[in-house]
Amino acid sequence: MANEPTTTVTGNLTADPELRFTPTGRPVAAFTIANTPRFPDRTTGEWQDGETWFVRCSAWGDTAENVAASLNRGNAVVATGRLRCRTWEDKDGGKRDIVMIVDEAILNECQEARQMVWFADISIENRPMMVSNWTVPEASGDFCQRGGRFGSHSSNESMDPVYYKKMAFIAFFNAGVRALDIRDPFNPKEVGYFIPAITDKTDKRCVKVDGKDRCKTAIQTNNVETDARGYIYIVDRANTGMHILELNGAARTVAGLK
Identify the weakest region by mean pLDDT among 17-21, 92-96, 159-163.
Answer: 92-96
Model confidence pLDDT, tens digit, residues 5-60: 567 888 999 889 988 887 778 888 888 888 887 777 777 778 878 777 777 788 88
User: Please, what are the domains in the chain?
Assistant: 1-83 (2.40.50.140), 85-258 (no CATH)
pLDDT at 49: 80
Identify the weakest region by mean pLDDT among 117-131, 163-177, 210-224.
Answer: 117-131
DSSP string, 112-177: SSPP-EEEEE-SSTTS-EEEEEE---GGGTTGGGSSSBBS---EE---STTTTTTEEEEE-BTT-E
Asked whether 164 and 258 are in contact (CB, 8 A), the reply is: no
Q: Where is mean pLDDT largest: 17-21, 52-56, 165-169, 175-179? A: 175-179
Question: Which among 215, 210, 221 has a CA at the least distance from the CA of 174?
Answer: 221
Question: Which among 183, 199, 153 has a CA at the least distance from the CA of 56?
Answer: 153
Determine if residue 163 is left, alpha or beta; phi over 0 gives left, psi from -120 to 50 gives alpha, anything else beta: alpha
pLDDT at 122: 83
Q: Residue 53: count other Cβ atoms within 10 Å of its Cβ.
A: 14
